[in-house]
Amino acid sequence: MSQIKEKHTVAMDLAEAAFVAKLRGDLEEASQLTRQAFEKEQEAAALVAHQLDAEPTRSILHRSAATLAIDCGELKAAERLIATALSGNPPEEIAEELKDLFIQINLRPYLERRGIDVDNEQINALILKSK
């Protein structure tokens, strides 16, 4: 098994275990497992980051790592992963998902900089409405 696939498989197993831990109500374990999943998926994405011809694998790994980064509160890391993915040639559907993730993490700060006060419910409604 390639190193990329191995790291990705471990990351997805950890993410699944985190989901189960969250369902059980063990939020601390879920958080730890999510962070481990993020780290593994980020490692997998890094191995293919410079291979622009490795689509859709390259953009899928970056999207997955960015999603896990968001779950960990690592928003700057998520932005970097999204930017790296979009700097290649991702398939249109994946590119749209990456752009949606970018908006998801930047909408609130954007509105706040312009003096627009929104609560979580309003942000979620805006995000869901656009899907």
- Taken in order 83, 1, 22, 31, the sign of the CA dihedral is negative
Spell out the domain ranges in the chain: 3-130
Q: Report the length, in residues, of the chain.
A: 131
Q: For 82-129, what is each residue's pLDDT tens digit?
A: 999 999 999 999 999 999 999 989 988 888 899 988 887 877 777 666
**What are 12-56's pLDDT values in tens digits?**
999 999 999 999 999 999 999 999 999 999 999 999 999 999 999
> Are 68 and 15 in contact, with CB atoms under 8 Å apart?
yes
Q: What amino acid is encoded at 64 in this protein?
A: S
Longest dimension (CA), the chain: 51
The model's pTM: 0.88
Which residue type, as a one-letter code, is found at position 80? R
